[in-house]
Structure 1
């Protein structure tokens, strides 16, 4: 007796062709990000619409999570020793060479974020790294000695315990502040020590102060809160209609500020946070996983600025009202961007450093 399935053997070529054609159609629809023609393709899968070049392509140690210029000469880089553990490198010649040369300051403690206070003082803290060691829950102030990094001094700024590990830290004037994921905000300064618990079920992950008294905090459910009295009280001022998560807040001065979400949506204020306008980046991909999302915005002056989202960097020349794509990296995420304060924008990716000279 012949197998019952045999009469249908002739359908196999037809079904195979149908599946193959569907795959081709699907593949053509998976990446609608770039509508512009690719002007240049260089090593590393870099599609550049501007004048970006690899600074040191291929050196694994210069791939990382964040880069910050404390001055035109002093650059801090949180890099990757081996995934997912971070290390720390410093350059004091504008990124041409990095210390230490043979080895690096190994900070395998989950410190994958930083905030620069000044040339010698920097916050290191661990966002999304609660399992590596107890020190993940501290905001650490390092007093760096560039020639002897392993022996640089540090002190704990803040400790909250298992559920209080740091979501954001920063500084404004004489105040330094910390936000933990249990929605408690702590300010230490010359005036006094102020703590405030937002008492929300939402998770708050980004905090900024536009002046000594006025600050903003954003939640993972699209709510933006504002304080006018230096953390003594907070009020809700904005709710994103799609509950997009706020992942980064930035103020260039007391008036011009931005609230970045985990999508191509951002909000802009030009009056110190009293009113906000919704702005869309020219990006059509689906939402990024915010666990791995490191979005930043830097302003060169009142008009020109840059922000990263996923594998792309966008530029504005009108103070953030409109944005155009200036870079797309084909094989890795753009983890952080920084302005070197003299004429170039730098980007750190999983493959290395990129640099664009400003005209």
Structure 2
């Protein structure tokens, strides 16, 4: 069975002046391709813009369009900008949500708009089940669309569900190479510098890497002028200053050019601490320990589903030290159960 893919990881050229690809979205994309193998993807397109005629023709030929999960689901969710239930019903293909999660930012998941309700109802007219990332996402959907409650499956994030975690017996205890990730949004400086200092103190002899998941750059004024719908771009000076801060603490700064290179790099990492959810899930999927520092509501649902500790931004030092002996083994059984649900979801449409 062939399928097409939609993902936020693909940033259209006209948006590159102000939108930076997120490596985590690329991790999700590759995980979905792995879970669907040997089925073949015949095209990959962006959720950020309406597809052109050639892309729509490719989707029609494939017949199935997989929506690669991230944090897209909010009260005004669209598959792509301007797309609605009427257009979906007029199309000849089906859409399959795969591991989508709720947005989690303040005031973004309060009450689902009527257009979003109608769109999700139309999606489920052509599929038996849809796949959603966490219990918080599921509760939001069940509250807003109760008549579809039994059609929503909590499969977890595809990134987590990989063989090293599912098939191993004990989590690795190595600590030779420690990676830290940060999220340079909002008032991040105090939080992220304290995290870096804590890791440097706890693992003074380890190789320490500071991994950049979104390489914020200052776009040229010409590029911004050409991007007619570009929002204001935040000054990335503090993001660069954070890299310098990490370097002074003995970290090497790693800036992978893409998700594949990042995944390859993480194969050398024994342990992760940081605020990037999908770096956290990737390390856990490799049967290695990871501690997540949540910065908004997006991380809470996965922690609820898969029993791992969350660091407290107000007490980073003590919350990390107090959980260093945490037993991650219950997570493995929960991941195995989620993988069974994921296989049930895939079997319902990918025949």
The TM-score bracket by the shorter chain reads: under 0.3
More helix per residue: 2
- Comparing both chains, which one has the higher relative contact order based on Cα–Cα distances under 8 Å and sequence gaps of 6 or more? 2
Compute the TM-score of the two structures, normalised by the length of structure 1.
Answer: 0.23
Compute the TM-score of the two structures, normalised by the length of structure 2.
Answer: 0.24
More strand per residue: 1
